[in-house]
Structure 1
Amino acid sequence: MNGYIERQKSANEFSLTDLPLRPDLRGRVPYGAPQIDAPVRLNTNENPYPPPSTLVEAMVSAVRSSTGELHRYPDRNATELRADLAAYLGHGLTAGHIWAANGSNEVLQQIMQAFGGLGRSAMGFDPSYSVHAIIAATSATEWISGARDDDFRLDPDKAVAAIEELRPDIVLLTSPNNPTGEVLDLEVIERLAAAATGMVVVDEAYFEFTRPGTPSALSLLASNPRLIVTRTLSKAFGMAGTRLGYLAAHPAVIEAMELVRLPYHLSAVTQAMARVALAHRDEVLSTVEAVCAERDATAAWLRGIGLEVLDSDANFLLFGRLPDRHAVWERLLWRGVLIREVGPPGWLRVTIGTAKEMATFRAELEDVLWSCVREAHGRLGGTSTVPAVSPLA
């Protein structure tokens, strides 16, 4: 009995540190934006508009049709979905150029599994999408952080020099970049691809939010067999809960993905819902214009009250420079507005929501900034009142 009690006590005190975890994973914390049920959630770059009722009805019908075959495994290679994705992208692509998985993060993970791994390296240019480095770490791929300029833009000459010197096996570019919103010129992508000896991945998760006429890296695929362009239905399509990401590349890259994918990784329900969304894409993407208009109006307003704002071609804005960004983030949350404390110190990122949500954001942010000014004024021994001007102007 005493031995049983001792074993139970040991089991109750058991923790992650007692497991034979890979040494390189020790001390890490899981990735994830705060999931807080705030009245106004502007922190994860989702499309703020729910699927239209016609799409919902079509999806329900498609899922109902697929349930009769749920006792069977789904199409392992998602052939019909990949054909639909190719038709959506254009550029002469076929199903043989497309690969799909559970969100673009799984696509990126499969890229790392195929072309990274022990003894290999991946390079990105920070600040950028932090999950790139996390996926590299979990796939035992060395992560190399390349630098951006003081304005957070990518300097092509410095980037080429870094690639030629360090010779990473994978170069990760993000366009529009998260969290800055910068779009890379095609000439820059071509230069970096020419300098690279391995694979070059252009993450275009937010491409549908770019300004009209913005060219996609898809146009470079025909002449660059080691180039990969990743996309998602989570952002502009408003399908974050569906989990569908995909890539376009040379057919040889698709063969590589088949080597590392899990059997039947993409469910029949996911495939059916994604195909319906693509069939209704004109209706689904009709909200993009409203989001972009709200983005530009919000950027102008933030600059009007004295904040710095980076030009963005995505559905978010990075703004600063704030002496205490955590205090601003926290006070906004107290007021029911959740944005993202991410990126360089002194900066915050806000996802563009509906007109009503952004009106609330503006009102609450201005009030928060005023309260910070009053407190600072008081600490400096000033009077209890401050001039009636913009808080940071």
Structure 2
Amino acid sequence: MNPGEVTLDDLPIRDDLRGKSPYGAPQIDVPVRLNTNENPHPPSPALVADLAEAVGRVAGELNRYPDRDAVELRAALAAYLGHGLTTERVWAANGSNEIIQQILQAFGGHGRSALGFEPSYSMHPIITTGTSTEWIHAAREEDFSLDPGKVVAAIEEHRPDLVFVASPNNPTGTAQPLGTIEEILAAAPGMVVVDEAYAEFAREGTPSALTLLPRHPRLIVTRTMSKAFAMAGTRLGYLAAHPAVVEALLLVRLPYHLSTLTQTAALVALRHRAELLGTVDELRRERDATVGWLRSKGLAVADSDANFVLFGRFPDRRAVWEGLLARGVLIREVGPPEWLRVSIGTGEEMAAFRAALEGVL
């Protein structure tokens, strides 16, 4: 075989990976990027200076491996989360995606299954398949909520080893009542993972699943510093769970998986959390204003507790997406057919989005 003619189909990859597409939002250089749910506000000069100083302190030790268990970072994350959490109840990895992968490596695998309620975070089934775990799809309601009775029925029918629930949900922004989470915990035979990547953006009074941890040792709550913390480039995800869950993850984690630089950057971010999270209220207001404006244009809009808004319905959503892109605004073509998702940016970016959408409509 001519090496130059070899394609992916010619390689002996696993059968369950054939025909799959890699995850990835389009990376296009345009004036307004509102497609990956980042916090649009960059770190302040004070934070950058603190980070540079902290990196300078550890740079002379980069010939040594990092703290394998990231104890100082986990203690700081526990203090941030509150709820009586301690170091042994918190674990960290390279983004919440590696956290999810480690969970599936420990509790999934060949002959085991994971259940999720779609539309939801598209990496859940991708990582599930990557760990040789069967993915079972269950549907959400028309308004993207979860019907507790149907959820329990799906769990009882399939008896999955893991159940994934995103709250607030991506790409819809829907937050789940704690009562629904508790019904899932009561019905699930295995682990329940509540993905709270966007929890800091939830409306005031929205409770976190962290409050359920003392009563439910098979509950895992995942978080990230990529969204509200505006540290997407750091790649730091973490979870809170029973100490036995963390012990299980130690069995599958790669040695020294969190670099010294990653741990240092995350610790600096936690010290500056008042600044970094200081933009959350502004983004919430911009989100709610965007929801109102889109509805005033006669569009369907999902209620959102996140830093993005899902809106539609468009018979040809690709044409709308391309029309916005032609006007210098990049949003995300994701989720159910006929719907699009816009991340919440600065006031200027959202004004550009509104003007571009007016032109397209």
The residue identity in structure 2 corresponding to 1:128 is S
Structure ID, larger Rg? 1
Aligned to 2:166: 174
CA RMSD of aligned residues (A): 0.7
In 2, the alpha carbon distance for the partners of 1:152 and 1:208 equals: 20
Aligned to 1:134: 126
Matches within 5 A, 1:173-322: 173-322=165-314
In 1, the alpha carbon distance for the partners of 2:308 and 2:5 equals: 44
Task: State which of 20, 33, 42 in structure 1 corresponds to 2:25.
Answer: 33
Matches within 5 A, 1:1-393: 10-369=2-361
Shift of 1:327: 0.2
In 2, the alpha carbon distance for the partners of 1:214 and 1:279 equals: 25
**Count of paired positions:** 361
After superposition, give the CA deviation of every residue in 1:7-41 in whole Å (9 maximum; x if it has no partner).
Answer: 7xx11212222211111111111110001111100
The residue identity in structure 1 corresponding to 2:97 is N
In 1, the alpha carbon distance for the partners of 2:269 and 2:51 equals: 8
The residue identity in structure 2 corresponding to 1:263 is P
In 2, the alpha carbon distance for the partners of 1:257 and 1:27 equals: 30
Shift of 1:68: 0.9
The residue identity in structure 1 corresponding to 2:353 is F
In 1, the alpha carbon distance for the partners of 2:12 and 2:316 equals: 39
Please give the secondary structure, in 2, of the residue aligned with 1:260. coil
Query: Under a length normalisation based on structure 1, what TM-score does the superposition of the two structures give?
Result: 0.91
Shift of 1:190: 0.5
Whether the 8 Å contact between 2:178 and 2:207 is mirrored in structure 1 is yes
Query: Under a length normalisation based on structure 2, what TM-score does the superposition of the two structures give?
Result: 0.99
Shift of 1:149: 1.2
The residue identity in structure 1 corresponding to 2:39 is N
In 1, the alpha carbon distance for the partners of 2:169 and 2:3 equals: 45
Identical pairs, percent:
69
The residue identity in structure 2 corresponding to 1:293 is R
Shift of 1:255: 0.4
Shift of 1:151: 1.8
In 2, the alpha carbon distance for the partners of 1:151 and 1:310 equals: 7
Shift of 1:165: 1.2
Further displaced range: 19-28 or 85-94: 19-28
Please give the secondary structure, in 1, of the residue aligned with 2:234. coil
In 2, the alpha carbon distance for the partners of 1:12 and 1:136 equals: 32
The residue identity in structure 2 corresponding to 1:274 is A
Structure 2 spans left out of the alignment, 5+ residues? none
What stretches of structure 1 move > 2 A for 4+ residues in a row? none
Whether the 8 Å contact between 2:145 and 2:176 is mirrored in structure 1 is no
After superposition, give the CA deviation of every residue in 1:92-147 in whole Å (9 maximum; x if it has no partner).
Answer: 10000000000000000000000000000000000000100000010000000011
In 2, the alpha carbon distance for the partners of 1:20 and 1:36 equals: 32
After superposition, give the CA deviation of every residue in 1:250-301 in whole Å (9 maximum; x if it has no partner).
Answer: 0000001100000000000000000010011011100111111100111100
In 2, the alpha carbon distance for the partners of 1:31 and 1:280 equals: 31
Please give the secondary structure, in 2, of the residue aligned with 1:34. coil
The residue identity in structure 1 corresponding to 2:22 is P
